[in-house]
Structures are given as structure tokens and as C-alpha cells.
Amino acid sequence: MSSGRSKPGLRPPPAGGAGLDAFPRFVLEPERPLVQVVKEGREPWWFGSSLAGRFDLPAPFGTCYLAEDPLAALLEVIGPDPGLIPLELLTQRRLRTLHVPRHMVLADATDRRARDFGVTGEIGSIVPYELPQAWAASLRAAGFGGIVYWLRHDPARARGVALFGPQGARRSWRRGRARPIDDSLLRRLAAETGLEIARIPAAAELDLAS
């Protein structure tokens, strides 16, 4: 047994993307649907550079986050909280199905060959985000358009997609159709996770003791 098992297995990336040309690849085609849960009124194709996200790149570049499964995307918004989920958290958000405008070559961190480069499943779960962000910068420098990884908050091992590009919105990309998070997805959430949705009553609805 290795004594290193109690330590993170994810290694720092090579500087400047050196030696990453042979990193496992995932070709993302425009035909593949991706999903995103965003606040109502927000740009869907937003490449953020705040460094608050797992694979954020510093300006002038940014990262846009999507998922392959709507429930997985929803669980990323909910996070690790095992309790009641306020209905208001969901009614303020919209589900979008999106398609990239052209095929993109992404780094595939879900491929077992990624181990040869020092990447483990921790790249999608480790906190804080310094190492994943360093990997994002090195993979972008190596010519990759993003990274495919295992999402942190879905034990079913759903995949997330983080795209790299200049920071800001892509208003020329198709925005997809925004739709509310409907009852069918909420039923799936309850059936597959046991999480419950609760409406927080307004103050006027409460019978407060004088």
C-alpha cells in the first residue's frame, strides 16, 4: 500500500502546457446537446475570469461551464447541502440546452490515460481551486479548447464541460431555449437523490404569536 494515499494524487501541470500534446482528447461536436442552469436574464455563453470557478482562467481569457445531464447541472447549483432546497432557488433559474457552433477538441480528464500526466478524478472535486485552474491554463496553452471532467456534486459520475476562450459573452452563439425547471426534473431530483423542495412562506402567511 502506498503511503501517499492520504494525500491528493492530482499533480501540478507542466508549465506552459509542455508535453501535453498527447493528453487524452474529447471531440465535442455541435450535434451533442449540453445543458446549463443559469439565473434568469444571465448570458448562457459566459466565459468568466473571476477565478471563483474551478477551471477559471485569468483575464483576458475565461471559462464557460456546462454539463451533459440536466439533473447533474442542477446538482452543481444546489451544491452539497443535503437538506430542504428552497423552491425560490430554482424558480429564479432557467434550464438551457445548448450546442457549440463548431467542433472543439477538449482535454478528457475522464479518460484513464490522464493518469499518465498526473491527473486524477480529484481535478473535478479538489478544493481550493488553485490546481484545477493551473491545469486549465496549461491545457489552454497546449491548444485545448476546454476540459471534460467528472462533476463534483453528482455521485453518478456525470460529466461536466468547461470551455476556454476570451472572457465575456458569446452573443453570436445560439442561446438555446430557456425553460423553467419543470416538475419532471424536480420529480427526478427527488427520486434519484432524496432531496426535497420546500417553498419558503412569505411573512404575511406566517401566523406569528404576538
The pLDDT score that the predictor gives to residue 57 is 98
Question: Which triple of cell numbers denotes residue 185?
Answer: 426534473
Spatial separation of the C-alpha atoms in residues 26 and 113, rounded to whole Å: 12
The pLDDT score that the predictor gives to residue 200 is 59
**141 Cα distance to chain centroid:** 21
CA neighbor of 63 nearest in space, from 78, 79, 50 = 50
Which pairs with CB-CB distance under 8 Å and at least 24 residues apart come from 36-39? 36/65, 36/66, 36/67, 36/73, 36/95, 36/96, 36/98, 37/70, 37/73, 37/74, 37/76, 37/77, 37/93, 37/94, 37/95, 37/96, 37/181, 38/93, 38/94, 38/96, 39/92, 39/93, 39/94
The pLDDT score that the predictor gives to residue 206 is 46
How sure is the predictor about 201, in pLDDT bands with cuts at 50, 70 and 90?
A: low
Query: Per-domain residue ranges for the chain?
Result: 25-201
Higher pLDDT, 111 or 177: 111
Question: Which triple of cell numbers denotes residue 207?
Answer: 401566523
Residue type, 118: G
Mean predicted confidence (pLDDT) in 23-44:
95
**9 Cα distance to chain centroid:** 21
The pLDDT score that the predictor gives to residue 205 is 47
**2 Cα distance to chain centroid:** 31
Q: What is the mean pLDDT of the chain?
A: 91
How confident is the model over 92-110, as pLDDT tens digits? 899 999 999 999 999 999 9
Mean predicted confidence (pLDDT) in 134-148:
98
Ramachandran region, residue 125 (left: φ > 0; alpha: ψ -120 to 50; beta: rest): alpha
Starting at the edge strand found earlier in the chain, the sheet holding 159-166 runs: 25-28, 104-108, 146-150, 159-166, 61-67, 34-39, 93-98, 178-180
Q: Would you say residue 1 has pLDDT above 60?
A: no
The pLDDT score that the predictor gives to residue 207 is 54
Q: Would you say residue 183 has pLDDT above 50?
A: yes
Output the pTM of the full model: 0.90
Q: Would you say residue 175 has pLDDT above 50?
A: yes
The pLDDT score that the predictor gives to residue 117 is 98
Instruction: Return the residue matching grid coordinates 472572457.
Output: 167
Which residues is 66 bridged to in the sheet?
161
User: Where is average pLDDT lowest: 9-23, 139-153, 171-185?
Assistant: 171-185
